[in-house]
Amino acid sequence: MSADFLYGIEVIINGLMAGVLYALVALGFVLIFKASGIFNYAQGVMALFAALTLVGIMEGQVPFSHLINAIFGTEVHHFGWEVPALLAIALTVLIMIGFAWAVQRFVFRHLVGQEPIILFMATIGLAYFLEGVGDLMWGSDIKTLALGLPQGGSLAVEEWTAGLGGDDFYGFFIDKLDMIATIVAILLVASLIIFAQYTKQGRAMRAVADDHQAALSVGISLNFIWVLVWSLAGIVALVAGVMWGAKSGVQFSLSLIALKALPVLMLGGFTSIPGAIVGGLIIGVGEKLFEYTIGAPFLGGATENWFAYMLALIFLVFRPQGLFGEKIIERV
Amino acid sequence: MKDTVEPYVTDDGRTIGGVLMDMRNITLRFGGVEAIKDISFDIREGEIRAIIGPNGAGKSSMLNVISGFYNPQEGEVWFRGEKRPQMRPYQVARLGIARTFQNIALFEGMTVLDNIMTGRLTHMKSGMFWQALWAGRAEKEEVENREKVERIIDFLEIQAIRKTPVGRLPYGLKKRVELARALAAEPKLLLLDEPMAGMNVEEKEDMSRFILDVNDEFGTTIALIEHDMGVVMDLSDRVVVMDYGRKIGDGTPDEVRGNQEVIDAYLGVAHD
């Protein structure tokens, strides 16, 4: 096989792995949108907040330490212990569930039946609020997430695949962290699907996503389901935040990963879980392949920054409901 | 005989038991408008109870009070001998009161089978973990639920469309699926909001037969709202007649038919 062809395959593999992460972020949006019709602008900030909380707990940081020090004139910063990663993850999940409950109890319970645009505005407020709380709790400095995950190219894959091509091919370069992120994302999506298909709560969740009135009539509490989907979205945000944070540090720009999910949603549709997954993969592969074949050789590179949005725009023109979204029919 | 709360046997051999649901002096207001004015009536175990009245009489409001979608400003709702506190609709459903809707509320994206299975949700007791693994008590429970649902599917003669997404079904079949979902909950009280609305004659006959069969076979107590007078008189054991939010008649179909106020308000055409 020619080296060019094999490098093309490498680009596709890397694209698929990036796509899985995009899909993960998009999934958080879809979960909430399907069940409640809320487009959650705060999804990206939730990923940032979850990652910040995880790092803070692991390092034994005192939450709100700046505030405490300012008020009481103390100098506390750390408890002086470190929390093992698994325990810290469990605690962060609990905090995200608490957050989901609070969001439902104090914000959206009072906005039931409001226009979508009002719900959307509420999530914008929520995003800035959560960003502020994150800063106040854990400080605004860039943190490194030391989960002990391996990083860098995998030598094993490189050696194993080197024999595929001739002398000018050195094997696939595949990042170990990307591989782990892919496996984790696949496991998460699989458990979400099993949850939605087979458990009572999952079935109730699908029922609420379909029809609120009918769901009530078979004994489903809408409030409970909304707390549930916000919790799931929080857990998805945590995973996305961890994977992205491990790559490029936990800092404010992490919240911008939500922007990457927008084209994925336009492609896959806002209401489809398979859509989010396929959309993420298409965007991941598309932008890497475009960069490799057209962007770098002819357009001066860096096309990955805008390719996804251009693709989404084309989709908006020809298929506004996305690949799998429900067809939009306006009754006249 | 029917004035007492002693059980009695109807002409067609069904046993009507004690009071299942007792609505006492219910008043419901929307702002300044009184949709229901001080209405009392009861529903007895095993009977088919109809609420009729012209458009805007407050029938649907009454059904929504029973099912917890509206909470009345005044009055008490008694169910199975206990006063029911203010409840949300899902809590009422968990008490064993299932309902259908005038405008059909089904899960359009799900298959007929999945729709009916949602009716069993309140009966699923095993843990989430076991359900996800499809093991232990969850597996046994799932099999039982499936059997019950299949029995209802057979009963309502919708085997052929079990796997069809509900969104693709014609109106009459949707109504039947909605009835099936409500039945799957094995309700103590089944509320039907205009079950025959918008149906052709043949569909109406089918639906009437199913309602009678459900009552007969499962012994389900049924309260229904209906526009079609003929249908109501044939189906029900007792009828409440409403007009402008007031109760103007209550009794057997024959008694109601002879009530002058009812004739004036609603059956005007039958009176010359």
Tell me which residue range forms the domain holding A141: 40-261
Q: Kindly report, residue by residue over A80-135, the tens digit of the pLDDT.
A: 888 898 999 999 999 999 999 999 999 998 988 788 899 999 999 999 999 999 99
Q: How far apart are CA A157 and CA A151, in angstroms?
A: 14
Q: How far apart are CA A187 and CA B226, in angstroms?
A: 51
Q: Which of B93, B124, B131 sits opposite A217 (nearest CB)?
A: B93
Q: Nearest 5 degrees, angle CA A239-CA A244-CA A246?
A: 95
Q: What is the pLDDT of residue A328?
A: 59
Using CB atoms within 10 Å of the CB of residue B238, give its burial: 0 to 12 exposed, 13 to 18 middle, 19+ buried: buried
| Total number of domains constituting chain A | 1
CA nearest to B35, candidates B10, B5, B16, B55:
B55
Chain B CB contacts of A225 under 8 Å are none
Question: In chain B, which among 182-201 make CB contacts under 8 A with chain A?
Answer: 182, 185
Of B229 and B260, more confident: B260
Task: Please indicate, yes or no, if residue A12 is contained in any of the structural domains.
Answer: no
Q: Which of A199, A214, A220 sits opposite B128 (nearest CB)?
A: A199
Q: Kindly report, residue by residue over A236-273, the tens digit of the pLDDT.
A: 999 989 988 888 788 888 888 788 888 999 888 888 88
C-alpha A148: how far from chain center:
21
Contacts of A200 (CB under 8 A, 6+ apart): B121, B124, B128, B131
Per DSSP, B14 falls in state P
Look at residue A18 and tell me whether its pLDDT is greater than 70: yes
Instruction: Please compute, for residue A309, the number of CA atoms within 13 A of its CA located in the half-sphere on the CB side.
Output: 7
Amino acid code (one letter) for B197 = A
Amino acid code (one letter) for A278 = V
pTM: 0.86
Q: Nearest 5 degrees, angle CA B2-CA B5-CA B10?
A: 45
Which segments of chain B are extended strands (E)? 8-9, 15-16, 19-30, 33-44, 48-52, 74-79, 82-83, 97-99, 189-193, 221-225, 238-243, 246-251
Determine the residue of chain B that is closest to A205 in CA distance. B118
Q: With an 8 Å Cβ cutoff, is B121 touching chain A?
A: yes
Chain B CB contacts of A194 under 8 Å are 132
Chain A CB contacts of B179 under 8 Å are none
Task: Please indicate, yes or no, if residue A210 is contained in any of the structural domains.
Answer: yes
Size of interface A-B (CB pairs under 8 A): 81
Chain B CB contacts of A220 under 8 Å are 90, 121
CB A196 within 8 A of CB A205: yes
Q: How far apart are CA B97 and CA B204, in angstroms?
A: 24
Q: Which of B91, B105, B128 sits opposite A214 (nearest CB)?
A: B105
Q: Kindly report, residue by residue over A163-189, the tens digit of the pLDDT.
A: 777 777 777 888 888 888 889 888 998
Task: Please indicate, yes or no, if residue A72 is contained in any of the structural domains.
Answer: yes
* Residue of B60, B67, B101, B121 to mutate when probing chain A, most A C-beta within 10 A: B121
User: How confident is the model over A4-21, as a mean pLDDT?
Assistant: 87
CA nearest to B184, candidates B146, B223, B157:
B146
Task: Please indicate, yes or no, if residue A243 is contained in any of the structural domains.
Answer: yes
Task: Please indicate, yes or no, if residue A307 is contained in any of the structural domains.
Answer: no
Determine the residue of chain B that is closest to A214 in CA distance. B105
Contacts of B208 (CB under 8 A, 6+ apart): B196, B231, B234, B235
Look at residue A332 and tell me whether its pLDDT is greater than 60: no
Chain B CB contacts of A204 under 8 Å are 118, 121
**Mean residue pLDDT across chain A:** 87
Determine the residue of chain A that is closest to B121 in CA distance. A200
How near does any CA of chain A get to the CA of B63, in Å? Answer: 12
What does the H/E/C string look like for chain A? CCHHHHHHHHHHHHHHHHHHHHHHHHHHHHHHHHHHCCCCCCHHHHHHHHHHHHHHHHCCECCCHHHHHHHHCCCCCECCCCCCHHHHHHHHHHHHHHHHHHHHHHCHHHHCCCCHHHHHHHHHHHHHHHHHHHHHHHCCCCECCCCCCCCCECHHHHHHHHCCCCCCCCCCCCEHHHHHHHHHHHHHHHHHHHHHHHCHHHHHHHHHHHCHHHHHHCCCCHHHHHHHHHHHHHHHHHHHHHHHHHHHCECHHHHHHHHHHHHHHHHHCCCCHHHHHHHHHHHHHHHHHHHHHHHHHHCCCCCHHHHHHHHHHHHHHHCCCCCCCCCCCCCC
Chain B CB contacts of A216 under 8 Å are 69, 88-90, 93
Determine the residue of chain A that is closest to B126 in CA distance. A200
Task: Please indicate, yes or no, if residue A299 is contained in any of the structural domains.
Answer: no
Strand partners for A61: A78
User: How confident is the model over A60-69, as a mean pLDDT?
Assistant: 88
| Cα separation values, A188 from A16, A167, A239, Å | 16, 40, 9
User: How confident is the model over B243-265, as a mean pLDDT?
Assistant: 88
When mean pLDDT is compared across A7-16, A34-43, A145-154, B202-211, the lowest value belongs to: A145-154
| Cα separation values, B82 from A284, B17, B19, B76, B156, Å | 60, 16, 11, 10, 33
Task: Please indicate, yes or no, if residue A185 is contained in any of the structural domains.
Answer: yes
Q: Which domains does chain B have, with CATH numbers?
A: 1-96+187-272 (3.40.50.300), 110-186 (no CATH)
Determine the residue of chain B that is closest to A202 in CA distance. B128
